Every structure is written in C-alpha cells, then in structure tokens.
C-alpha cells in the first residue's frame, strides 16, 4: 500500500434491514445507512457524530467487517474487506467498545484477556506473552499487580484500559472507538480520552471515533462527519465545522452544547417538529420536517453531499445561498 493511500476506505456504503409488519402484511425496509463514504489514513482521527439512531453503530459494524453492506464497497489496507479473513482484519483493525463492563469476559483474568489476541494470532511464543502483556499494561496505565485480577475487581476506568490494551497488544494500524467513554464516570472520561489520544499519536494509529458527545469529538479528532437518519449531511476539518457549521442540523447540534459560562443558561435548540420515523422517512431532504429553512425544493428533492469551502454539505439552503454559515460554541 502506498504511503498516501487510506488505511480504511468506505465508498457509498448502505445497509438495509427488513422488518416484518405482521401477519399478511408486507415487510418494511429500514435503510440504516444510506450511501456513506469514509476514509481514514495513518495517524488521523476521524469522528462520526449524530443523534442516537442515525446509523453510526451500523456503519461501525460494517467498517469492522462484522456486517456486510447492502451496497457500496469497503477497502482495508487497499484490499476489499470481504477478501480478508477474520485474523487478517483483526491484525489491521481493532475495536474499543462502549461498555467496559460487558466487553470483558468476567471469568478471565486481566492478563489472559489482554493476551488473548497473541494466542489467537499465534504471535511469538507463549514464553514471552506475559512480558508483552505487562509492557502493554504499563503503557495504558495499569499496574502489573492487576495481571491476575478479574474484571469484577476493577473500576470502570481500569476495565476500559484493559479493553484498550487488548485492542493494541497485536499492534493494529487502526482503531474504531464506539462511544469509548459514555459508560464511564465523568471523573475518568478525560483520563481515558487523553490516553487514547496519546496512544494514537505515539503509535501513528488511524482512529475512527463514533460519538454523540461533541466535546469528545472536538478534543480528539482532526476531521468530523455528521450523520442524520443514515446519511452524511456535513463533513470537514473539526476546527472549521465547529467554528462555522453550515448544515442546519450541525448548527442545532452545536447550539445544544452547554456553555461553560454559568450565566448563559440552557441553550435553545432551533429544531422544529419531532424526529421522523426511519421506516417511513420524509421525501426530499429527510431533515426538512425539523428545519426552519426548508422550502418546497427541500421537500421534493434530496440534496447531494457537495463540496463547500474546505468541507462538504448536503443542503439546498446552503447551496442556494438561503442559509448563512453558523457560528459554533
């Protein structure tokens, strides 16, 4: 693979699910992800954000090779992901899951959990596994005294450090972190985020961060992609998107972030209507029922993701000059 080629590239991937509507009724289709493209290179952190149910986790499962796309293509290290077996994918790409309480085997000790990828990949000899595991434990801030402890004996932050150590023990080139701190106490979230950021920079890891927490995204990513109802509606450099959000949905997400000024009060979010039914999405732009800038064009025709400035946005109001650039928090 050339140096400039992305570690992971998804091109217009979609994923549909069929749901039964009851006896003698036709099945309904949920398009959880609709034509989304993502690429991440070595040492780059890309965030994918949006409300719950927007398709972030379904997209992550496809990028991990756990779920086949209904349409589109995914390439890992320059090769179609479907051409790689599970061990090859695991050598290149590792996940860090949301829940450190549910992602660790409660019957296995810490050292065995972290060292499992070495055994599965038959990497080196068992005689040196322990030294490699203890070295990785030290790197993620876990004392070697915890080697024989069980997950139930650890704090939430320690469990997530175990999960990170397990993900990194085989030296992958890319991490996919799905809400890596949302299950943790606020007091330890910053520690885990700083650890992830340091490791990503020190090891030149590519990183895809799935999150709805915009403070986390701003802290960790260089590029951000905003999803709404399965589609990408805005993307760009994180600093630029936060400073001048273009899509009305991105503006509303940023407006909803609480200010650090204690006198600012609760922010007002400029969103009309309720979230649409993903099994029966609106015609045209799927965001138009909640958008204060929508017109008949928005209701009839779906906008495409087009280059605007240094990023991209899918919005007729922006394309037609009816909506100015917003200002982030």
| CA gap 275, 114 in Å, rounded | 41
Q: Which residues pair with 308 in a beta bridge?
A: 311
Indicate the pTM of the whole model.
0.89
Work out the pLDDT band at 301, boundaries 50, 70, 90: very high
Query: pLDDT tens-digit profile of 49-78?
Result: 998 889 999 999 999 999 999 999 999 999
Please name which of 28, 39, 27 lies closest in space to residue 72, comparing C-alpha atoms.
Answer: 39
What pLDDT is recorded for position 125?
73
Strand boundaries in the chain, DSSP class E: 8-19, 28-40, 45-49, 71-76, 79-80, 93-96, 174-178, 206-211, 223-228, 231-237, 306-308, 311-313
Calculated CA dihedral for residues 303, 305, 308, 310, nearest 10 degrees? 160
∠328-49-176 over CA atoms, to 5°?
A: 135
| Residue 124, token pair as written in the block | 């080196």
Q: What average pLDDT score do residues 8-30 get?
A: 86
Q: Span 290-316, mean pLDDT? A: 94
Q: How many CB atoms lie within 10 A of CB 130?
A: 14
Find tokens 């993502």 and name the residue.
Answer: 38
Please state, for a pLDDT cut of 70, what percent of the chain lies above it. Answer: 90
pLDDT on residue 124: 67
* Residue 176 · residue 95 · CB < 8 Å: yes
Cα–Cα distance, 251 to 164 (Å, whole number): 33
The number of beta carbons lying within 10 Å of the beta carbon of residue 77 is 19
Could you give the CA distance from residue 176 to residue 53 in angstroms, rounded to a whole number? 18
Specify the DSSP class assigned to residue 70. Answer: S
Check pLDDT > 70 for residue 118: yes
Task: Provide the pLDDT for residue 100.
Answer: 79
Instruction: Give the confidence band of 265 by pLDDT, cuts at 50, 70, 90.
Output: very low
The tokens describing 321, both together, are 């000059």
Backbone dihedral angles phi then psi of residue 97, each to the nearest 5 degrees: -85, 170
Mean pLDDT of 190-219: 90
- Tokens standing for 185? 């106490």
pLDDT at 4 > cutoff 60: no
What per-residue confidence (pLDDT) applies to 224? 97
pLDDT reported for residue 73: 97
User: What pLDDT, on a 0 to 100 scale, did the predictor assign at position 1?
Assistant: 41
119 burial type by CB count under 10 A (0-12 exposed, 13-18 middle, 19+ buried): exposed
Q: What phi and psi values does residue 75 have, to the nearest 5 degrees?
A: -120, 130
Residue 320 reports pLDDT greater than 60: yes
Average pLDDT over residues 164-169: 94
In this prediction, residue 324 has a pLDDT band, given cuts at 50, 70 and 90, of low
């Amino acid at each position: 693979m050339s140096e400039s080629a992305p570690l992971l590239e998804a091109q217009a991937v979609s994923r549909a699910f069929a749901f039964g509507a009851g006896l003698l009724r036709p099945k309904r289709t949920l398009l959880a992800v609709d034509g989304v493209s993502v690429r991440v290179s070595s040492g780059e952190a890309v965030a994918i954000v949006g409300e719950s149910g927007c398709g972030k986790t379904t997209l992550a499962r496809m990028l991990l090779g756990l779920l086949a796309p209904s349409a589109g293509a995914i390439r890992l290290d320059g090769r179609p992901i479907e051409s790689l077996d599970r061990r090859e994918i695991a050598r290149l790409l590792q996940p860090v899951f949301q829940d450190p309480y549910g992602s660790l085997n409660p019957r296995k000790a810490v050292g065995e959990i972290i060292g499992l990828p070495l055994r599965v990949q038959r990497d080196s000899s068992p005689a040196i596994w322990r030294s490699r595991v203890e070295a990785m434990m030290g790197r993620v801030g876990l004392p070697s005294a915890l080697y024989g402890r069980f997950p139930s004996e650890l704090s939430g932050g320690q469990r997530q450090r175990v999960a990170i150590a397990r993900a990194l023990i085989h030296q992958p080139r890319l991490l996919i972190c799905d809400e890596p701190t949302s299950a943790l106490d606020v007091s330890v979230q910053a520690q885990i985020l700083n650890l992830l950021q340091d490791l990503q920079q020190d090891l030149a890891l590519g990183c895809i961060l799935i999150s709805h927490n915009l403070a986390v995204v701003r802290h960790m990513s260089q590029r951000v992609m905003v999803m709404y109802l399965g589609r990408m509606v805005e993307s760009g450099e994180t600093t630029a998107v936060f400073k001048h959000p273009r899509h009305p949905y991105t503006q509303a997400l940023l407006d909803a972030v609480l200010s650090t000024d204690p006198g600012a009060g609760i922010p007002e979010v400029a969103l009309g209507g309720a979230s649409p039914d993903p099994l029966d999405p609106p015609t045209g732009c799927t965001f138009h029922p909640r958008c204060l800038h929508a017109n008949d064009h928005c209701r009839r025709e779906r906008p495409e993701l087009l280059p605007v400035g240094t990023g991209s946005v899918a919005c007729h109001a922006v394309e037609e000059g009816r909506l100015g650039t917003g200002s982030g928090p």
